[in-house]
Amino acid sequence: MRGEVRFEGVRFAYDGGTDVLLDVDLTLPAGTSTAIVGPTGSGKSTLGSLVRACMTPPPGGSPLTASTCATSPLRT
């Protein structure tokens, strides 16, 4: 994926359970490295999985779009 990765107001829960992420705003500029730090259980791995899901091209090599990212399954 080229360009920045941006999340605005992201909310996420596993299988409809308690929110793991709630109202997260994050911009990862292209060409930069970012460290996500925090205590155990704060959602770091979940956030990383969401970023990877947005960066994984869909089958057939179709272009990535906001809707592709929104519908990509989270792989744990």
Give the DSSP per-residue string, 9-62.
EEEEEGGG-SEEEEEEEEEE-TT-------STTSSHHHHHHHHHHHHSPPGGGP
More confidently predicted of 44 and 58: 44
CA dist., res. 35 & res. 67, Å (int): 26
pLDDT at 37: 94
pLDDT digits (tens, 9 = 90+) for 8-57: 888 888 887 888 888 888 888 888 888 999 999 888 998 888 887 776 55
Distances in whole angstroms, Cα of residue 24 to Cα of each of 44, 56, 57? 12, 21, 23
pTM, full prediction: 0.64
What are φ and ψ of residue 10, in 5° steps? -70, 135
- DSSP reduced 3-state for 6: strand
